[in-house]
Amino acid sequence: MTTDKHRIVIVGGGTAGISVAARLLRKGHSDVAVIEPSDTHYYQPLWTLVGGGQAKASTTARPEASVMPKGATWIKNAAATVDPDDNTVTCADGAVYEYDVLVVSPGIQLDWNRTEGLQDALGKDGVSSNYRFDLAPRTWEFIRGLRSGSAVFGMPSGPIKCAGAPQKIAYLASDYWRRQGVLSDIDVHLVVPTPRLFGIPAIADNLDAIAADYGITVHTNAEITSVDAAAHKVGVTHTGDGGSDTMLNFDVLHAVPRQSAPEWIKASPLSTGDPNGYVEIDKHSMQHVRYPNVFSLGDAGSSPNSKTGAAIRKQAPVVVENIESLLAGRPLSASYNGYGSCPIVTSSHAMLLAEFDYDLNLTPSFPLLDPTKPHRSYWYLKKYGLPFMYWNLMLRGLA
């Protein structure tokens, strides 16, 4: 098999890969290749609103060709192995691509099979998940159809993309049921593996109040470990000390899978070597700790920030600047501070925008609004402002 050579090879044509490719091309780098097998590019943050009946799934998908930056070489293939000692990536069909600099941004793997019974239950018997394009509309069908009974919303342990999404849908569903006048007939449970609903106390306090206002029973230090769709029961395992395992009945279940790096990354020398297997990078420079000409950003990187599109927006310029320094033989000077943003929709008209850095310091973009409380203006930002910015600015290397 012949080997193709590109100056910069980017694995993944999602948010991270396209943002970096667009920025590199704007800066005059002409030989940029993007390895991406998919025909469709998704704006996943809106899937929460799809599941909550507030957006149409079709608005979240566009042809991959429409977001591929002009001037990039699109390798329509899936990466299968990487050999950083040889500076090559091999694709699923055996084609080999050599690089001077590699950017690894293939996204995250949804491990549905790591929760017993979940994979087979999806899409029927009231079981759904906003983490899949085809299932988000089913979530809304199940929520809309429930008039009494019980609903369970779960969040898994370990890093996941958009860590707020598992609880956002609980609030959106509860808000809908309240507006329909049936919330008092529905027993709502929210199961989270963390000690509190959020890692920043001021925000956790407000989310506690929101959950209490809806009458949601919050199970902390706990996660759903099995789904028995036929019996309409989930097994809940306590992750903290002294808690006991329990079963919860459900008529509607919104499940979120555990997540990890794609298998080919886990098996590669780029991996951290732990079970999640993310690309082992310096959390500030985004450069691989052992292979200087390899960078990673987005959900597949090992940096301990929240895995969100907002994090990628701050990571992409750092990666591009540091690639330029590397190619010019200069020390790497750009640094990422761990900025992440977790937009938590709390009702059909309000949203809390949690923005923070590695040290969990609040870093609000709109200092006039209290960043620990929900606001109506943030909801409009979520539904209209952020998608516009994503398609028109971020993917074009302009934001």
Residues known to be catalytic? 162, 342
What spatial distance separates the first Cα and last Cα of the chain, rounded to whole Å? 39
Distances (CA, A) of 362 to 123, 328, 370: 37, 35, 11
- What is the Cα–Cα distance from 166 to 171, expressed in whole angstroms? 10
Say whether 63 sits in a helix, a strand or coil: strand
Any idea of the CA torsion for 340, 341, 342, 343, to the nearest 10 degrees?
Answer: -170
In order of 71, 161, 207, 221, 267, the CA distances from 201 in angstroms are 46, 21, 10, 16, 38
Instruction: Measure the CA–CA gap between 136 and 138, rounded to whole angstroms.
Output: 5
**For residues 252 and 151, what is the distance between their CA atoms, to the nearest angstrom?**
5
- Separation of alpha carbons 99 and 122, rounded Å: 40
Query: Would you say how long the chain is, in residues?
Result: 399
Pairs from 362-368 (Cβ < 8 Å, separation ≥ 24): 362/200, 362/202, 363/339, 365/341
Determine the Cα–Cα distance for residues 43 and 339; give it in Å rounded to an integer. 20
Q: Work out the number of other CB atoms within 10 angstroms of the CB of residue 24.
A: 27
Cα 341 to chain center, whole Å? Answer: 11
Alpha-carbon torsion angle 309, 312, 314, 317, nearest 10: -140
